[in-house]
Chain A
Amino acid sequence: MMDEAMIRPAVWCRRLVVMTSKEFLQLARDWMLLVFIVYAFTADIYLAGSGVSLQLRQAVLHVLDQDGSAASRELIGRFQPPHFQLAGRITEGPREALRLLDRGQTMVVLDIPADFESDLLSGIPTRIQMQIDTSNSVQGFLASSYAQRITADFGTERAMAGLRAQSGGTGSMPRIVDDHRVWFNPNQNDTWFMSITELLTIITLFAVLLPAAAMVREKERGTVEQLLVSPLSSFQIMFPKVLSMTVVILIGCAVSLALVLRGMFHVPVRGSLALFFGVTTLFVFTTAGLGLLISTIARNLAQVGMMTILVFTPMLFLSGAWTPPEAMPVWMRTIMYASPLHYFIDTGFGILLKGAGIDILWREIAAMAALGGIIFGTGMLRFRNQFGN
């Protein structure tokens, strides 16, 4: 009796180790897959982090300057990078402007009338016209509001200069100076944001797909029957798949964090790295549970593939990684509370950029753990029922 009690846990662990190493071996033999795992955690994140920005940058501007005066030149000179780039002048009139807009060769056309400066000098209100390509509505709106700001400042400064000259100085003026400070990412460095987002995306993709595929592959080839007649419990069959893929993902994440995020983009890691990896592990388990759930529904790998995009794409795009969650309708935001990625984004950015600790993030972590428990439990239950262990 004593011996058995000693041996049992040892055997249990050995089985787990054997199964896990079987998974590693299978992965290592698919070299094309390995190449792409390496690519995803390095070059792909580098590409996303360098040179992609959601902000309005370098909007192409063409000017139709019918005045050609000092005032019009001064106004045009204010349309500067980073928001605008002056790409050229239109000489043939409005038809050329429209052609450029139609072909997508310019985004903004500024049309300054002939009597612009003389009107300004004689105090007559003057109008300038702007045409904006709003086929991308967000960028169009941003371009319009920057242009409004630039023209209003130009007008007010000229008027104030005129007033001062007229009255020999008007004394001091009341003014509210807005001093804004941007926290956590003071230069609004898109590189930090994009590379972290991309890393979270890649982690999610692998966490859903790899365990699900590893499981269904056994079903498709029939090798699951061999596993079922072996003395392994259903937990011992499923868990090693999740475990091995988690190890792979964590290694990838560590490499990417060290080489790309810190090494090349200098993303500050303000919080605890141990906490970050702890949360990542929890997230991978939770999401792998989702994959296992898929694997109990799907009968072949082709179905896994389609179901994965069915679950993965909305999760990815709507959890707040690509678009601000504030902009979503309320019902959709409610659905997203069931997405583990939603919590992972908050904690991931919180730890890396804000330096938040477990005292602040415990709610998100608890929610993720609860969600993971439910998903994993359901997956296990379905697996057991299916194969009647």
Chain B
Amino acid sequence: MNLRRVIAVSQKEWREIVRDRVFFALAFLVPVSMMILLGYGLSLDVEGIPLAVLDEDHSSASREYAYRFIGSRYFDFRGYVTSEHALNVLLTENRIRAAIVIPPEFEKRLVSGKSAAVQTLIDGTFPFRAQTTKGYIVAINAAANMDLLAAHLSKAFGVSQEVVRDRLQPVRLETRYLYNQSLKSIWSLAPKLVMLILMISPPFLTALGVVREKESGSIYNIYVSTVSRGEFLVGKLFPYVAVSMVNAGVLFVLATALFGAPFKGSVATFFAATLLYVICTTGIGLLVSVFVRTQIAAMIVVSIITLVPAVLYSGVLIPVFSLETTARMVAHILPAMYYTNIVTSCFMKGIGIASFWPDVVVLAGYALLLMGLGYALFRKRTKE
């Protein structure tokens, strides 16, 4: 491998990138804008669920019960309705996502010490939202029942409500939140967005850069030159890795400064691991470019094999242990999951490389494998 030739190829590539001003600007603009938009927008916190209430009892007990939901920050009260049909329409039109139906004789049954059934309707089209909504409803209902029971028993036994409550809740669960004490979702999200964006943008840059030469035919200059395969690939990929590392730095600053995510680990280790990861994702771009002939195909293939898996199988939104067997296998095949572990360890857990070195080794192996495959499959001789 001749260093001068490598540098020559790199310089040529770098000039090509810089001279296409729009492309050059986009290479930096895309990661930043994705980080900002997704950082503010991508949230799984379920709050302000639009809610309507059908109160068929019109008693003080039913109003009090309804108010437990209306006053909660988890629900956004859209008003009372007068018939079940109206609820039906509102749910189908996406105007509300949950509804509560309080039957007649609600108060009467409770006062006489009987059980009263309340019906809640939940829009199930988005199962995650439905499950969370159900969780809120169960919790609010349980609090209402505890109040009822405490009032009833304190009357029956002639002791104060506080004493009854203590008796009814003999076990207290003390919860300690580790790594993200205030449960700020942006703190968990921002570091993982670094992973997501570095999964998408380097392969795009690389695949487009290599396939562009193939499609326009300028790659024949390389085919007939003295530059070897290895020299060409190293020289060609170096500028893209460099651009992506600059982006990684910018994303790191955005995550910590703009979104305030805490960084507890070692910066040097983090960037070393990030370099490995960027080489991996650049390698994915290289591998794609070996197989496709047109830039259109390159764009489609890259977006399908990076974008979707990065969201589904990397642990951004869904923890890997929640995945079923096939999906979990896919997760282990992709480099994203390992880098997610590293990012979480460095940002949130603040633990040293001793705890996550296996992930680093996997990434290094991955980088070697991808580059090796790219090298082996890249041909200076065309088949035709």
Which residues of A approach B to under 8 Å, CB–CB? 30, 32-33, 36-37, 39-40, 44, 47-48, 50-60, 75, 85, 101-104, 107, 119-120, 123-142, 144-149, 151-156, 158-160, 163, 170-186, 188-190, 193, 198, 201-202, 205-206, 209-210, 213-214, 217, 220, 298-310, 312-314, 317-318, 322-324, 326-329, 332, 346, 349-350, 353-354, 356, 360
Bound state CA distance, A132 and B348, in angstroms? 13
User: Is the CB–CB distance between B110 and A174 below 8 Å?
Assistant: yes
From B43, B124, B141, B156, A323 is in contact (CB under 8 Å) with B43
From A104, A128, A201, A301, B295 is in contact (CB under 8 Å) with A301
5 A-B Cβ contacts within 8 A? Answer: A51-B328, A102-B351, A132-B175, A182-B130, A318-B42
Say whether B384 faces chain A, with CB atoms less than 8 Å apart. no
User: Is the CB–CB distance between B348 and A56 below 8 Å?
Assistant: no
* Nearest-Cβ distance from residue A271 to partner chain B, whole angstroms: 11
User: Is the CB–CB distance between A180 and B303 below 8 Å?
Assistant: no
User: Is the CB–CB distance between B116 and A36 below 8 Å?
Assistant: no
Bound state CA distance, A107 and B178, in angstroms? 10
B33: nearest chain-A partner, CB-CB: A310
* Nearest-Cβ distance from residue B241 to partner chain A, whole angstroms: 17
Which of B2-10, B92-100, B224-232, B362-370 touches A? B92-100
Q: Is the interface of A mostly helix, strand, loop or mixed?
A: helix
Complex contacts, B293 vs chain A, CB 8 Å: 30, 32
* Nearest-Cβ distance from residue B357 to partner chain A, whole angstroms: 11
User: Is the CB–CB distance between A217 and B129 below 8 Å?
Assistant: no
Which of B22-30, B271-279, B372-380 touches A? B22-30
Say whether B204 faces chain A, with CB atoms less than 8 Å apart. yes
User: Is the CB–CB distance between A360 and B93 below 8 Å?
Assistant: yes
User: Is the CB–CB distance between A149 and B138 below 8 Å?
Assistant: yes
Contact mask for chain B residues 297-321; partner A; CB cutoff 8 A; 1 contact, 0 none: 1111101100110011101011101
Say whether B49 faces chain A, with CB atoms less than 8 Å apart. yes
* Nearest-Cβ distance from residue A226 to partner chain B, whole angstroms: 18
Complex contacts, B311 vs chain A, CB 8 Å: 317, 322
Complex contacts, A298 vs chain B, CB 8 Å: 22
* Nearest-Cβ distance from residue A58 to partner chain B, whole angstroms: 6
From B116, B177, B295, A177 is in contact (CB under 8 Å) with B116
Which residues of B approach A to under 8 Å, CB–CB? 20, 22-23, 26-27, 29-30, 33-34, 37-38, 40-50, 65, 76, 89, 91-94, 97, 109-111, 113-132, 134-135, 137-139, 141-142, 144-146, 148-149, 152-153, 156, 166-181, 183-185, 187-189, 200-201, 204-205, 208-209, 212, 215-216, 291-301, 303-304, 307-308, 311-313, 315, 317-319, 321-328, 330, 341, 344-345, 348-349, 351, 355-356
User: Is the CB–CB distance between A55 and B134 below 8 Å?
Assistant: no
User: Is the CB–CB distance between B296 and A209 below 8 Å?
Assistant: yes
User: Is the CB–CB distance between B144 and A134 below 8 Å?
Assistant: no
User: Is the CB–CB distance between B110 and A176 below 8 Å?
Assistant: yes
User: Is the CB–CB distance between B47 and A136 below 8 Å?
Assistant: no
From A58, A148, A163, A303, B20 is in contact (CB under 8 Å) with A303
Known: A137-B188, A180-B137, A213-B296. Is A128-B183 also a contact (CB below 8 A)?
no
User: Is the CB–CB distance between A188 and B92 below 8 Å?
Assistant: no
Most buried by B among A306, A332, A354: A306
Known: A50-B327, A103-B355, A176-B110. Is A185-B130 also a contact (CB below 8 A)?
yes
Most buried by B among A48, A101, A309: A309
* Nearest-Cβ distance from residue B15 to partner chain A, whole angstroms: 14
